[in-house]
Amino acid sequence: MSQWKNFSKGFFKENAVFVLFLGLCPTLGVTTSAINGLGMGLATTFVLTMSNLVVSLVKSQIPDKVRIPSFIVIIASFVTMVELLMQAYVPALFEQLGLFIPLIVVNCVVLGRAEAFASKNNVISSIIDGLGMGLGFAFALTILGGVREILGSGSIFGFKFIQGDGMLVFVLAPGAFIALGYLIVLVNKINKKTA
């Protein structure tokens, strides 16, 4: 049962974006639309879950001196897989996300969970933790991308529902900071009410 508590922590209590402020580079860089946020979030979820799985399996075989470099090699292998799969099956999304896909290798969320959780826990707990933290990250990116897309262009997931243009600032970098700030306030209020 406690394993499933780790799953739900990634959505609000320990959300990487809204609470821990980790992985903000891709958060602010790719969330110009909900589909970009969802794509980046799901790619990160896959890498996080699979790297947690492998790290928990091989943790006893890795010497302490090369622990972090070994984790990075494991993570980089899954990032390469995601990059090749996205390039083959969703090339338009791959073009939109661009450089941010390879940067998953050094994302603090992924490396942090490998070091802090997967290297100290069993396989099942590590998979559940990876899924929870990854889906929480995907949730945050999709919400932020959705808010920016609605306010910036009057559409959601590419479906236009407002005639004309939205507020241009939300499509640009300052809009990411503004929207993220308000979402952080909202999540903090929700966390205080549920605490």
Coil, strand or helix: which one is 74? Answer: helix
Task: List pLDDT tens digits, range 99-111.
Answer: 899 999 988 899 9
Q: Give the model's pLDDT for residue 194.
A: 78
End-to-end Cα, the chain, rounded Å: 20
- Count how many domains the chain has: 1
Q: Is residue 166 part of a domain?
A: no
- The pTM of this model reads 0.92
Q: How far apart are CA 146 and CA 57, in angstroms?
A: 37
Q: Is residue 37 part of a domain?
A: yes
Q: Is residue 167 part of a domain?
A: no
Residue in the block written with tokens 């969970």: 113
Residues 6+ positions from 111 with CB-CB distance below 8 Å:
68, 71, 72, 75
Range of the domain at 119: 2-9+23-136
Q: Is residue 170 part of a domain?
A: no
Q: Is residue 100 part of a domain?
A: yes
pLDDT averaged per 10 residues, the chain (length 195): 69 87 88 94 96 96 93 97 96 92 91 92 94 95 95 90 85 92 92 79
Q: How far apart are CA 94 and CA 187, in angstroms?
A: 30
Coil, strand or helix: which one is 126? Answer: helix
Q: Is residue 15 part of a domain?
A: no
Helix axes 123-153, 2-9, angle to 10 degrees: 20
Q: Give the model's pLDDT for residue 195.
A: 66
